[in-house]
Amino acid sequence: MSLTPSGLSLPGPSRRTLLRGAGGAVALGAGIPLLSACGGSGSSASDSKTVTVGSNSSDAVPKKAFADIYAAFGKKSGLTVDVNTKDHNTFQEQINSYLQGTPDDVFHWFAGYRMQFFAAKGLATPVDDVWQKIDGNFPDAMKKLSKGEDGKYYFVPLYTYPWALFYRKSVFQEKGYEVPTTWDQLMALCKQMKKDGLVPIAFGDKDAWPAMGTFDQINFRANGYDFHVELMAGKASWTDAKVRKVFDLWSELLPYHQEGAVGRTWQDAAQTLVSKKAGMYLLGTFVGQQFTNEADREDLDFFAFPEIDPAYGQDTVEAPTDGFMLSKAKKNHSGSVKLLEYLGTPEAEEIYLKSDPNVVAASTKADTSSYSALQKKAYEMISGAKSLTQFMDRDSRPDFTSTVMQPALQKFIRDPKGVDSVLTSIERQKKTIFASE
Amino acid sequence: MTTDIPAKSPEAAAVPPPGAAPVKQPAKQGHQRLLTRRDRLTLGLMAGLPTILHVTLVWVTALASILLAFTTWDGIGFDTIKWVGFDNFKELFTNNPQFWPAVEHNVVWFVVLILIPTPLGLFLAVQLDKKIRFSRVYQTAFFLPVVLSMAVIGFVWQLVYNPDTGLINSVIGANEPGKYIDWIGDPDLNLWAVLIAASWRHTGYLMILYLAGLKGVDPALREASALDGANEWQTFKNVIFPTLRPTNTIVLVVTIIEALRAFDLVFVFNKGAEGTELLSILITNNIIGESSRIGYGSAIAVVLLVISLAVIIPYLVATFRKERRA
């Protein structure tokens, strides 16, 4: 075409632009594998001097705490830790594709069913060799939490925290309230608080998980730890009279909860406790993050959820435990093992706790002398527990808790009278989900 | 393509050079030269690459998700895919308490967008078309929400509706115990609260579309109707609005798309809690995230696909029929 002498120059440039367009398309095509590669990172760091860690600690405080641990580890071992931090929720949501792609050597995760699930799927490497070194540092309850279904260790715990009812000491003193230890006392206290113009129990369930905490507490107080396990594993029925009893008790307590809970975040609910408008708040110790003023923080205290059935007393504590796992595609095995061994020492835990005073060490060897009063109490509560639970969404299938339980509990909170239809619906959906093993 | 170009180019080559008599011979050579290896490669790239991209990114994925809708799969390894026939759909239609509300909300979303922002956008466009003072300023102000991403809009409105510290409850004093209005959590309110936010954005979008349509209306039509003694409303109703037909079609299509793809705003607002369930959010909750019920989520996606096709196919059929007539 360019040979025609008549100046038919148009096709030339237009073809060039088209080619450029084609080039763009090629680049676009090349972008697809690139995008999928974004899931993992640190592919450049495959030398034996570096261990990569996938982290979900995107908040400033824990992020700094972990950085301190890795710095201390680096000094000790001469290895560099390359941390790949992702937003907490994003990390959790992408965990499936992350672990199947090119995961980091070591990654942050939770104890319990959620850990066992990935272990059973072959997406994690057993760490029995690590536990030979760190075995003495942990109590039996923690060892149980760190094992997969096959009896091998897959998890190294770092810290834990209990769920409990939080309150302001000054408010209880001023109004002459006493810490309730039985259900009847709790109900009486709620009535009194309401009379005194307080919101008895602060509550925010916009994120849909806090209500699970309330369910867990009432459930294992009324029906015991074993039933909690059976129910979470999909074995017990949700239409069982025992479950119905939990919801009946909850319906009794619900009028004393803060109104409009489904539209409120847990942070906003915590603010009502900070501002002394609410009397109590059922949450994990991380509620302390909302107490930014030192004096307010000193004033914060908690007590275990009151006894419902004397046969079970207050023997179970909900204590979600966070720690580390070893991925299947680790590039630096010996380095990773060294890092995990270090993370299982009291030393590493103490460094972490220095920066994050809302949790306690998973190890019983860690130094408790620097603990705040709140941490000491949490530590006693956990070490004195007969059984530890993790939390509904850590003790059960995540697909069940996120797609069935979260909306169902929100529905119950809004309309406690419709509990029967909610429960039959949960049971029907549960059967399908747990059948698809 | 290959047959088109050689058929046309001899003509094209023959017309412009006026003095070149021995045109026929080179033209035949040119005919052959057009199909040199380089040209074929170019054409192949030009046609092939977009085709490959389109097929892999649109058709293969769509077909894969249709196939997956008849399986259960947790997304880990291909050997865990299990064929279950219509079980996912049975489960969806009979057991999922969120499914039918979600379908209903998608429909409500569409109806509300047609009933509120569409007339409002048209009204604003007509006003702005009158060359009033500061029309550019108003135009910008109304169009601004369209520039913001849906996620940002969701975040902003979520602050407005916050039950404790939000603007509305603070102003009307509904943030105290006993007087709470839970805009975000109450299923009787939250869909409407979100729809106000969605309409706020959509109005600006439709205003621009209608404004563009109005600028294209022949001024002679207005003059003619003025000469015939029609008042402003009559002119609009009988002369201007009928000429906006193509714009109306676009608006309809845009609004249907908007109603079916509604997702980000609600997801940021309250994650699709009771009252604001949408099909897109159910798909996301089931597929993305730890839950990984990929087969089940795909079944919901197939339902959304069927609904989309049910809307799009009649539209395409009507358009093609019109073209054939023309």
pLDDT digits (tens, 9 = 90+) for A417-434: 999 999 999 999 999 888
Whether the CB-CB separation of A303 and A372 falls below 8 Å is answered with: no
Q: How far apart are CA A121 and CA A119, in angstroms?
A: 5
Q: Which domain holds residue B233?
A: 99-276
Does pLDDT of B7 surpass 90?
no
Q: Do A268 and B50 touch (CB under 8 A)?
A: no
Q: Which of A74-88, A187-201, B20-34 has the highest mean pLDDT?
A: A187-201
Q: Between A and B, how many residue pairs show a Cβ–Cβ distance under 8 A? A: 153
- Candidate from B46, B52, B177 with C-beta closest to A259: B177
| Closest chain B residue by Cα to residue A208 | B273
Measured between beta carbons, the chain A residues lying within 8 angstroms of B97 are 407-408, 411, 425
**Fold observed for domain A163-318+397-435:** D-Maltodextrin-Binding Protein; domain 2 (3.40.190)
Residue A387 backbone dihedrals phi, psi, to 5 degrees: -135, 145
pLDDT in tens, A346-359: 999 988 888 788 88
Rg, chain B, Cα only: 27
Q: Which of A78-92, B3-17, B104-118, B154-168 has the lowest mean pLDDT?
A: B3-17
Contact A414 B9 (CB under 8 A): no
Instruction: Of A198-207, B7-16, B50-59, B312-321, give the lowest mean pLDDT range.
Output: B7-16
pLDDT tens-place string over residues A240-299: 999 999 999 999 999 999 988 998 999 999 999 999 999 999 999 989 888 988 899 899
Q: The tokens 């030398």 sit on which residue?
A: A47
Dihedral of alpha carbons B179, B182, B187, B192, sign = positive
d(CA A326, CA B170): 50
Q: Is A340 exposed, middle or buried (0-12, 13-18, 19+ CB in 10 A)?
A: buried
Enumerate the residues of chain B whose CB falls inside 8 A of the CB of residue A411.
97, 274
A154 neighbors A325 (Cβ within 8 angstroms): yes
Examine residue B249 and state whether it is found in any structural domain, yes or no. Answer: yes
- Helices first, then strands: H and E counts in chain B: 18, 2
Could you give the maximum distance between any two Cα atoms of chain B, in Å?
96
Paired tokens of B267: 């997801």
Give me the residues of A, 110-139, that contact B with CB < 8 A: 114, 121, 123
* Closest Cβ opposite residue A402 in set B87, B185, B285: B285
Q: A296, A130 in Cβ contact below 8 A?
A: no
Question: Rounded mean pLDDT of B90-113?
Answer: 93
Rounded Cα distance, A121 and B136, in Å = 60
- CB spacing of B75 vs A96 below 8 angstroms: yes
| CA A373/CA A378 separation, integer angstroms | 9
- Which residues, numbered 249 to 278 in chain A, qualify as contacts with chain B under a Cβ-Cβ cut-off of 8 Å? 258-264, 268, 271-272
Tell me if chain B has a CB within 8 Å of the CB of A239: no
A97 touches chain B (CB under 8 A): yes
Within a domain: residue B312?
A: no
In sequence order, the β-bridge partners of residue A387 are A316
Which residues make Cβ contacts (< 8 Å) with residue A219, sequence separation at least 6?
Answer: A227, A228, A231, A243, A246
Q: How many domains does chain B have?
A: 1
Out of A36-40, A86-90, A396-400, pick the least confident. A36-40
CB contact under 8 A, B185 and A121: no
Which residue from A1, A259, A398 is facing B34, i.e. has the nearest CB?
A: A1
Q: Is A234 on the interface with B (CB under 8 A)?
A: no
Lowest mean pLDDT among A38-52, A78-92, A175-189: A38-52
Strands, DSSP E only, in A349-408? 360-361, 387-389
The pLDDT value recorded for residue A1 is: 35
Mean pLDDT of A30-57: 58
Q: What is the pLDDT of residue B33?
A: 58
Backbone angles phi, psi at A326, to 5 degrees: -105, 125
Residues B161-214: tens digit of each pLDDT: 988 888 998 888 887 777 888 888 888 899 999 999 999 999 999 999 999 999
- Kindly state the DSSP code that residue A117 receives in the 8-state scheme: H
Q: How close are the terminal C-alpha atoms of chain A, in Å?
A: 64
Residue-level pLDDT at A58: 82
> In this complex, which of A206, A402, A428 lies closest to B290 when CB atoms are compared?
A402
Confidence of residue B14 (pLDDT cuts 50, 70, 90): very low
CATH class of A50-160+322-378: alpha beta
* pLDDT score for A62: 82
Q: How many residues does chain B have?
A: 326
Other Cβ atoms closer than 10 A to A404: 26
Measured between CB atoms, which of A206, A261, A428 is closest to B95?
A428
Given pLDDT bands bounded at 50, 70 and 90, which one contains residue B52? very high
User: Can you tell me which residue has the tokens 């052959």?
Assistant: B32
Within 10 angstroms of residue B90's Cβ, the number of other Cβ atoms is: 13
User: Mean pLDDT of all residues in chain B?
Assistant: 85
pLDDT at B113 over 60: yes
- How confident is the model over A265-282, as pLDDT tens digits? 999 999 999 999 999 999
Among B254, B265, B278, B235, which Cα is nearest to B126's? B235
Chain B residues in contact with A28 (beta carbon < 8 A):
53
Nearest CA of chain B to the CA of A259: how many Å? Answer: 7
pLDDT at B199: 94
Residues of chain A with CATH 3.40.190.10: 50-160+322-378, 163-318+397-435
Phi, psi of B34, deg, nearest 5: -55, -25
For residue A47, the model assigns a pLDDT of 63
**Neighbouring C-beta atoms of residue B303, cutoff 10 Å:** 20
Indicate yes or no: CB of A263 within 8 angstroms of CB of B185: yes
pLDDT at position A40: 40
| CB contact (8 A) between residue B186 and residue A121 | no
Q: What is the CATH number of the domain that holds B194?
A: 1.10.3720.10
- Of B51 and B314, the structure prediction assigns the larger pLDDT to B51
Looking at the predicted structure, is the pLDDT value of residue A43 above 50?
no
* Mean pLDDT for the stretch of residues B144-156: 90
Could you tell me the pTM of the whole model? 0.81
Is A353 within 8 Å of chain B by CB? no
8 Å CB contact of B46 and A21 = yes
Residues in chain A within 8 Å Cβ distance of B70: none
- Comparing alpha-carbon positions, the chain A residue that sits nearest to B287 is A399
Q: Is A198 in a helix, a strand, or coil?
A: coil
Note whether residue B77 is domain-resident. Answer: no
| Side-chain half-sphere CA neighbours of A386 within 13 A | 11
